[in-house]
């Protein structure tokens, strides 16, 4: 098949999975970490930071953007990318809640 049966899971489960899937590639982790490391948005420059060809980087940026993890704004003939705080917060909250429930359990295995 190759296609996930998303219709059988909750909206929330699908949304969570989509966010994490977008981060589930080393290049996209590297992009996020690079955007974080620099103290402002990055115009250009991302391609030179990564060991991948320009079209490949562009594709990864698109995926991160589709997932809502980054924003891009046009700045002359370059494009400024930066992290969308809200998406990261959503993920953080998810794992915070998850972790609290784990700690309450205390446990078997």
Binding site for a second copy (CB under 8 A): 4-6, 8-9, 13-14, 16-18, 20-30, 32-33, 36, 39-41, 51-52, 71, 73, 80, 82-83, 85, 88-89, 91-92, 95-96, 98-99, 101-102, 105, 107-109
DSSP three-state, residue 84: coil
Q: Which residues are CB-contacts of 9 (< 8 A; sequence separation ≥ 6)?
A: 17
Q: Which of 35, 33, 31 is nearest to 59 (CA)?
A: 31
Q: How far is the CB of 40 from a second copy (least distance, A)?
A: 5
Side-chain-side CA neighbours of 7 within 13 Å: the count stands at 1
Task: Indicate whether 89 belongs to the interface with DNA (CB under 7 A).
Answer: no
Q: Which of a second copy, DNA, none has residue 45 at its interface (CB below 5 to 8 Å by kind)?
A: DNA
């Amino acid at each position: 098949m190759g296609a996930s049966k998303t219709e059988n899971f909750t909206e929330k489960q699908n949304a969570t999975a989509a966010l994490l899937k977008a981060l589930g590639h080393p290049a996209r982790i590297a992009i996020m970490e690079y955007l974080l490391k620099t103290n402002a948005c990055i115009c250009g420059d991302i391609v030179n930071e990564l060991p991948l060809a320009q079209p490949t980087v562009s594709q990864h940026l698109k995926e991160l953007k589709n997932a809502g993890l980054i924003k891009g704004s046009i700045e002359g003939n370059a494009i400024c990318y930066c992290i969308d705080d809200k998406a990261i917060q959503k993920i953080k909250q998810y794992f915070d809640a998850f972790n609290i429930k784990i700690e309450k359990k205390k446990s078997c295995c």
